[in-house]
Amino acid sequence: MGFYDTLSNYYDKVFPLSLPCKTFIEKNISKNKLDILDVGCSTGELDIFLGKKGHNVLGIDLDKKMIEIAKDKIKGEALKVEFKVMNMEELETNLSENKFDIVICIGNTLVHLSDIYKIKKVLKQMFSLLNPGGKIILQIINYDRIIAKDIKKLPLIENEDISFIREYDYNKESNKVIFKTTLEVKKENLKFENEISLFPLRFEELKTILYDLGFKNMEWYGNFNGVPYQWDSYATVVTAQK
């Protein structure tokens, strides 16, 4: 079993859907019934929240176990919410007949792609799947801060059930961040470790890509509380329209 399969069993304890996230998303979409695509939906908490608000939602994730958990959550629910295993690099191939009013990609999902060219290709596909006037909502860790301050660790996530350690090691030569995680499950006395490579997408790079693709009305934030983005913000959050 891979690390993300293991993480899926504890995902909602590690990353519960926060009130600031729900509030931010709600403020940036209309109250009308919309068609929404969530890229990197994990266990589907945000999509279920949006489905209960009356929206039609498709959540996709590469991890099969995450999608299985998400599907289990909506069994017996009268929601227009669907979950599918899908690679974000193949959005147009799999969704060529679909159009969306909103595309969401949060949770530091984009930087799991290996280079800036793949990131631009995926964002181009998101653009093509949007209806005219549709909106994209993106969120990643702010890598300008990580690199400038040589950040080695993100804040510890801990509660009565789990402890989740996140360590960063930026390699300037390869321009990659080695992301090391340690998940400790307290009551079961279990420990799971993992290491993956992330592409440290920076503010100006993301801004240039969105501009080149034709996105407009870009608004930048440093977190889901709506604080304006600065170079040392914890996160990079952007909304933009087609």
CATH value at residue 171: 2.20.25
Co-location of 64 and 172 in the same domain: no
What is the pLDDT at residue 50?
97
Say if residue 182 is in the same domain as residue 221: no
Residue type for 45, please? E
Q: How many domains does the chain have?
A: 2
Residue 208: its pLDDT value, please? 98
d(CA 20, CA 1) in angstroms, rounded, equals 33
Q: Tens digits of per-residue pLDDT, 77-122?
A: 899 999 999 999 999 999 999 999 999 999 999 999 999 999 999 9
* Co-location of 9 and 112 in the same domain: yes
Residue 104's nearest CA partner among 129, 121, 80 is 129
Work out the average pLDDT over 9-24.
Answer: 95
Residue 2 confidence (pLDDT) above 70:
no
Residues 97 and 167 in one domain: no
Specify whether 57 is located in the same domain as 90: yes
Q: Are residues 55 and 120 in the same domain?
A: yes
User: Which pLDDT score, from 0 to 100, does residue 90 have?
Assistant: 97
Closest CA to 40 of 98, 95, 113, 99: 113
CB 38 within 8 A of CB 58: yes
Instruction: Work out the average pLDDT over 30-55.
Output: 95
- Grouping H, G, I as helix, E, B as strand and the rest as coil, residue 117 is helix
Rounded Cα distance between 10 and 69, Å, is: 11
Cα–Cα nearest to 237, from 142, 117, 124: 142
Provide the domain limits for residue 181. Answer: 145-198
Question: Model confidence over 156-183: pLDDT tens digits?
Answer: 999 999 999 999 999 999 999 999 999 9
Q: Is the pTM of this model over 0.75?
A: yes
